Structure 1
Amino acid sequence: MPLHPSPLRPLGPGAHFGVKEVEAVLVEHYPRLVRLAYVTLPPSLGRHRRVLAAHTAVQRALHGRARPAPGPGAEGIPAPRSADGVVDGTRTPAYATVRLRVVRSALAYDRKPRWWPGRVPAPAALRPSMPVVRGLRLFPRAGGMDEFALDRALADVPAAVRAALGLRLLESLSGDAAQTLLTDAGVRDPGDAVKAAAQLAGSDHERVRRMLGSGEFDPCTLQTRPGDLLRRRHRVRAGATALALLIVAGGIALTAGPVSDDAPSRAVARRATVPGGALDPTALLRTPPEQWADTSRVDFSAWPPRGGRIGDRELLERALDSWAAPRPDVAVTRTPGTAVVAPVQPPQLLFAGDLDGRTVVLFHDGGVRVVRYTEPLSGKGVPALDFARADDADVTTAAALSVSRTATSARYLLAPWITEPTTRDLLAPDTPARPLDVDGDGITAAVPRPDQGGGCGSWPAMQLRSSERIVEKHAFLLTDLGDLAPVHLTHTPAPGSGAPARRPREATGADALVGWARTACSLRDLRGSGVRAVNNWHFAVQPLPGTRSTADWVCTRADTWRGPGRVLVQFVPPAASPSARAEVVSDRRNSALCSRFGQHVVAGTHWKSPAGAWYVLAAGSRAVRRVEVGGSVHGAAAGTTLAVRAPRDAVFRVTAGLHDGGAAPSAR
């Protein structure tokens, strides 16, 4: 009796696929299946674990439970042939079954309960196992800014939407076929997932298809870099030390009773349990002072250590020990989505020095986090630990870190590539920027913070310029929202007649500053939420009925370090004051709206004309060809804007059709 069924047997109703059929599909189509799994998996896994999980999801398909082959009239028909007579293996029933298993396995990574600790291995029932790679980190080849933006947009949507996007664009399935597959994979609302995927792709599906087919999303063509490989000797020695300490501690416990609770004993125990010498001050990474001017990675990893106490071993030991196991008297804060765990390898030292009555130590942890430890110089007060995300930082988002903060001001450590530091008030766009003093270590003078109370009389920001030594000399704006890293502010201008879509640009021009003067106060709602950057997109300009004036429609999108964003749609009518606040007409969370992968939007609001008449105004982005209003008031107009007379309290909904036949998502 053969070990496996013959691969040549007929596939009639009720037949099952054997191991040989599935193995043949995996061998022939392994790269495309792994790419589909990689797109479906949550970007929050990180690129290394996402690569491993993608390969795991495909290889597990070989061992999936056998299922009946589709019957006649479904996919049980013979596979079609291409023009050269070759059978298209991606349309066979065996391939469809394997693809379903891969999608189901990739979706399982998003089904882990949110309460489950991210760094603690979940049981097999909650999280599929994946291979372990020691000493190396694996990454797909880096793409351009478009691919990077697409990957961040994928982090904003559920796994079902990512799977639908991969099925529609990578697998070229129809909407109905993708919906059917997602239903079989256990997705609750497959129709909504397919629609959301269509909105994410926008009108240019081919461009998104090309990006998904690029090296950025290819987990089979990989780059490697050392992780703990270069420090393996330290880890082996630390492991041997830990084992010896455990043996000694066990012997003491058996012979002398409870272990002493003094601070030195706790510190020794912590250093013994953290691998790789991560708590050894002598193993801290220290970047050479001039490396920032000759590197392709301009981020926190290029910062040299600065400050008068970078050689203070006792201080660095206290900071690392507190990081690994904070005492009860240490105040700990973190931005959302930041892990408060000990370092797994020696972190990078950025700063150690005395400032404003406290000692400050700044670390950068492997490209993922920045950590600040502070303790009072006088002995009065408590130490503090602050954790924040810092993954994928760049020239602008790695330009400064807060080292000291009061209720009214903050001082920053600037990146070594920063020149011409200045400050300005966003609510006074016509006022020139003022020079900002910086000492020899890169520490700024006190910079006013935005008002923490209910008022909004000013909105301070730093305007910095990057050095021409990194061939990226340009000015940009940063503002304080309460986190370790200030927030990067950008601007997307209003559409011109027939002009192509524009990318966000630095908000230092006259038009950008005028726009931020009207919308800066809306940033108050974003404090302490781990925001990385905020962009003001002027998506429409609307003539106001009965006047010769126009109003702007602005989509203010805040992107967080962890991925999800928040969107405020604001209506900006003419005003006597250049800083008069815009009206927020919509507030959306965890949406791709108003990003590069949510380029279509329509919104509406009530407006009172100077003559006292009330209107419903609506506007859509550049691809909108028709705007309609329904509810207790009705109206329609060709183009991107609409104005309809309506009572002040009229209840309405706004819809819009696109030039390609689709519909723009409403921001209301």
Structure 2
Amino acid sequence: MQSQDVAQRPAPSSPAGPVVDVEQAEAALVEHYPRLVRLAYLVLPPGLGRSRRVVTAHALTQRALPRNRTPAPVIPAQSTGRDGDPGYALVRLQVLRTALEAGLPLRRRAWPKRSQLPPLLPQVWGLKLFPRSGGADELALDQRLSTLSGPARAAYALRGLERLADDGVREALTAAGVADADGALLEADGVPAQYGLLDSPEFDPCSLQARPTDLMRRRQHLKAALAAGAALLVCGALLGLPGEGWGPDGAAAPPYARNPAAQAALDPAKLTRVDPAAWQSSARTDFSVWPTRGDLTGDTALLRRALAVWARPGERVQVSATPGTLSGGPAGPPQLLYAGTVDAARVVILYDGLRIARYAEPKDGTQGAALDFARVDGAGRAEASAVVLGRADGNVRYLTAPWVSKAGERDLLKPGSGAMNLALTDGVTAPLASPALRSGPCTSWNVLQLADGRRTRLLSDLGELVPARLTSGRPGSPGEASGAKALRTWQPYACSLGTVRSAGVRSVNAWAFNEQPLPDASEARWGSPRPQGGGGSAAWVCTRAETWRGGGARVLAQFHTPGARYGAVAAKAENVPACGARDPHVLTGVLWKSEAGDWYLLAAGSRETASIRATGGVSGSARSSVLTVPAEQGARAELKGTLRDGRSLGGLR
């Protein structure tokens, strides 16, 4: 997204100002270091994760010193103590430029910029560092900023932190290499001007919390490293033995010997082709019973190229794989699911029992060929319902399972609008809008609706080969998200699906685990006012994204008040059992401001929660699954709960 707005080449130099000594720049950096780090943190892409953004923001700021005397850009530094300081203007421009560069995608034919690589220093081993969580308003603002492009976040931060007028923001962005500064300002206008919130601890990478990294994973990595070291020593010893091991008299085949299984995997004639009616009598309903479809299934040259690229992708082939997916060649002849023309490309879809591989090349040649992988082991009828054939012009086309009888397109943000029918031609859908290709504010989230005669399912494109299945209900026994009640549950949280793009997600479940009456409130601070009269109730929903690899599940606890269009993230975590089939319980809370201007700590647990206690900056308790306690703005509290069976429950982090 940033690559469209930030110039890939060095930005044109701005009009030269006073010459700045290194000492002068260092003095400005040291004096205003917290502000510069906060600016870098706000501009860096949210996809890095809070811990890496913190470390990267410090690294970029510490590298902002010039190597020698440098002309300062004529860009205002409008704040007390910084007004007219050329040293501050110089280091701020360098921080802004490198933070924008860090969001650019890596290019295959160009060396990465230093700011695009993980920082060597500072490094903290064994700990995750991230800013302290703010109140409800800060969380809502953070969610809105995450939908902006890098230049737009930079524009918002320069307005809010630096108090620059739009002309000053435009000059700063242009000097930092932004090609469309006016577009960035226009995009930033879409976020409410809550600039005072930028000074809160939520966006302060100098005031941090520390938590351990994944202890089990660290232990596993240590064991793997020791095993690899031992294997290296053994292999080195074998290489030194005459006539043994890898020498000419060893067990290895001669250099030019060919493996029959590997050769068979490259032969188009040996591809597995399934009969169109096989699925109707098979005990399995997964990708293994998909028939071979497409208008190019007899193009031997195309199939040979697809198999050869899978086994040995060239340097010019763009290869991608979902997390946890191996990209090596097939062990034997794979199954051919599709070979045909899709828009302006020739596409081949192959399946080897564990992975889906998609090969695509332009109609007029092989330049720009792409190879994509997705892990699909253990897929059942629901998960094996569709595969992405191609994306173009903001739309996506799917190849659907043979048991799919009807397809439609539905906007999750409009649950009452119904689904628009999609034409199916030999299992291929008409194009539908893809939320994975959209940039800018989230105003719609279109999903694929499929009916197979038994159930109606919803699938969302998250930028991968296999769309994610959407469900709703209590973990362990969720239902499809296509029902009226499930659609209403999903409506405020649809845009949060953007946080799990390209993460290897298999399914996402939304579970409304509680409701809570709002104290003396006739307006929610998250969005539009709701109708007057009565306090109303807020909804607590937990969304959990499960991955194909098993680990790496992402959990969001979200809070939604009446009249608000979107839910707000109250807590998020990764690799935790909360809201899952193994442990469906959850406890979380937010600071909320009523229409009367009073602040409250609102907390809720799943309905099996017998009591909740808040300690720290806010003290209170309740013998129920919800807690409402008066609080002060910016207060922090620790939450502890007790389940009905006596087990303790900690707050989600």
TM-score range, shorter chain: 0.5 to 0.7
State the 1:111 CA deviation: 2.9
Q: Which amino acid counterpart does residue 523 of structure 1 have in structure 2? A: L
1:110 to 1:298, Cα distance in 2 relative to 1, 3 A? farther
Contact 1:245 1:272 in 2 (8 A): no
Which residue of structure 1 aligns with residue 516 of structure 2?
Answer: 542
Paired residue for 1:566, among 544, 548, 554? Answer: 554
Does residue 447 (structure 1) correspond to residue 556 (structure 2)? The answer is no
Report the residue type matching 2:357 in the other structure.
Answer: V
1:291 to 253, 268, 278: 278
What runs of 5+ residues in structure 1 fail to find an aligned partner?
1-106, 129-241, 248-270, 468-472, 494-500
Supply the distance in 1 between the matched residues of 2:366 and 2:263 (Cα, whole angstroms): 34
Number of residue pairs matched by the alignment: 406
Counterpart in the other structure of 1:518: 492
Tell me the amino acid that sits aligned with residue 346 of structure 2.
T
1:481 paired with 2:462, answer yes
2:405 is paired with a residue of what secondary structure? strand
Amino acid at match of 1:382: G
Deviations 1:117-176 (A, max 9, x none): 9xxx95766999xxxxxxxxxxxxxxxxxxxxxxxxxxxxxxxxxxxxxxxxxxxxxxxx
Distance 1:526 1:636, change over 3 A: same
CA deviation after TM superposition for structure 1 residue 282, in Å? 1.5
Amino acid of the structure 1 residue aligned with 2:384? A
Specify the code of the residue in structure 2 equivalent to 1:476: R
Residue of structure 1 equivalent to 2:315: 328
Give the SS at the match of 1:455.
coil
Partner of 2:483: 509
> 2:392 aligned with 1:382, yes or no?
no
Specify the alignment match of 1:246 in structure 2. 256
CA contact (8 A) 1:108 1:127 kept: no
For 1:324 and 1:352, locate their aligned partners in 2 and report how far apart those are by CA, in whole Å.
Answer: 18
**Partner in structure 2 of residue 423 of structure 1:** 409
Report how far residue 508 of structure 1 moved.
Answer: 1.3
Q: What secondary structure, in the 3-state scheme, does the structure 2 residue paired with 1:339 have?
A: coil
Q: 2:347 aligns with which of 349, 360, 369?
A: 360
**Pairing of 1:269-418 with structure 2 (within 5 A):** 275=262, 277-366=264-353, 368-379=354-365, 381-418=367-404
Residue type of the partner of 2:256? L
Give the structure 2 partner of residue 637 of structure 1: 622
Deviation at 1:554, TM superposition (A): 0.6
Could you tell me whether the CA contact under 8 Å between 2:476 and 2:580 is conserved in 1?
Answer: no
Query: What is the match of residue 173 of structure 1?
Result: none
* 1:455-494 matches, cutoff 5 A: 455-467=441-453, 473-492=454-473
Contact 2:639 2:650 in 1 (8 A): no
Question: Partners in 1 of 2:391 and 2:482 — Cα distance?
Answer: 25
Query: Residue deviations 1:86-121, cap 9 Å, x none?
Result: xxxxxxxxxxxxxxxxxxxxx99973559879xxx9
* CA distance in 2 between partners of 1:409 and 1:108 (Å): 38
1:619 aligns with 2:607: no
2:558 is aligned with 1:557: no
Q: Is the 8 A contact 1:600 1:665 kept in 2?
A: no
Cα gap change, 1:123 to 1:363, in 2 (>3 Å): farther
- Measured in 2, the distance between the counterparts of 1:381 and 1:315 equals 14
Counterpart AA for 2:636:
V
Report the AA paired with residue 532 of structure 1: R
CA distance in 1, matches of 2:403, 2:223: 39
Matches of residues 113-124 of structure 1 in structure 2 within 5 Å? none
Counterpart in 2 of 1:599?
584
After TM superposition, which residue ranges in structure 1, 4 or more long, deviate above 2 angstroms?
107-117, 121-128, 242-247, 271-276
Q: Is the 8 A contact 1:402 1:485 kept in 2?
A: yes
TM-superposed CA distance for 1:466, in Å, is 1.4
1:548: Cα distance to partner? 3.6
**Alpha-carbon distance in structure 2 between the residues aligned to 1:362 and 1:344:** 16
Per-residue CA deviation, residues 325-381 of structure 1 (Å, 9 max, x unaligned), is 101111111111110101111111100011111110000112x11000011111274
The 1-side partners of 2:595 and 2:471 are apart by 33
Aligned equivalents of 1:387 and 1:110: distance in 2?
29
Within 2, Cα distance between the matches of 1:321 and 1:600? 49
Residue 47 (structure 2) aligns with: none
CA distance in 2, matches of 1:623, 1:480: 34
- The CA deviation at 1:502 is 7.1
2:70 aligned residue:
none
Change (3 A) 1:244 1:277: farther
For the Cα contact (< 8 Å) 1:358–1:375, is it kept in 2? Answer: yes
Q: Given the superposition, is the C-alpha separation of residues 279 and 243 from structure 1 closer, same or farther in structure 2, using an over 3 Å criterion?
A: farther
Q: Does the CA-based 8 Å contact 2:538-2:562 persist in structure 1?
A: yes
Q: Match of 2:308, SS? A: helix
Q: Match of 2:632, SS?
A: coil
- Are 2:501 and 1:527 equivalent residues in the alignment? yes
- The alignment yields a C-alpha RMSD, in angstroms, of 2.7
Could you tell me which amino acid in structure 1 is paired with residue 562 of structure 2?
Answer: P
Q: Residues 125, 639 of structure 1: CA spacing in aligned structure 2 closer, same or farther, 3 A cutoff?
A: farther
Asked whether the 8 Å contact 2:406–2:424 carries over to 1, the reply is no
In structure 2, the residue matched to 1:585 is: 570
The letter of the residue matching 1:628 is: R
- How far residue 283 of structure 1 moved from its aligned partner, in angstroms, is 1.4
Q: How far apart, CA to CA, are the structure 2 residues paired with 1:363 and 1:109? A: 35
Give 5+ residue unaligned stretches, structure 2: 1-215, 235-251, 521-533
Q: Given that residues 476 and 581 in structure 2 are in contact (C-alpha distance below 8 angstroms), is that contact kept between their aligned partners in structure 1? A: no
- SS of 1:456's partner is coil
TM-score, scaled to structure 2 = 0.59
The letter of the residue matching 1:554 is: V
- Give me the identity figure in percent: 43
State the TM-score, normalized to the length of structure 1. Answer: 0.58
Paired with 1:635 and 1:276, the residues of 2 have a C-alpha distance of: 70
Secondary structure at the residue paired with 1:537? strand
- Residue 42 of structure 2 corresponds to none
* Residue pair 1:407, 1:452 contacting (<8 A) in 2 also: no
**Alignment partners' CA distance in 1, 2:477 and 2:274:** 33
- Residue 633 of structure 1 deviates from its aligned partner by 1.1
Deviation at 1:295, TM superposition (A): 1.8
Alignment match, 1:33: none
Q: CA deviation at 1:244?
A: 9.2
- In structure 2, relative to structure 1, the CA distance for the partners of 1:502 and 1:598 (3 Å cut) is closer
CA distance in 2, matches of 1:127, 1:487: 44
- State the one-letter code of the partner of 1:573: T
Q: Which residue of 2 aligns with 1:67?
A: none
Cα distance 1:108–1:357, how it changes in 2: closer, same or farther (>3 A)? closer
AA of the residue aligned to 2:514: A
Summarize the Cα distance change of 1:508–1:126 in structure 2 as closer, same or farther, 3 Å threshold: farther
Residue of structure 2 in register with 1:94 after alignment: none
Mapped to 2, the partners of 1:426 and 1:538 lie a distance apart of: 16
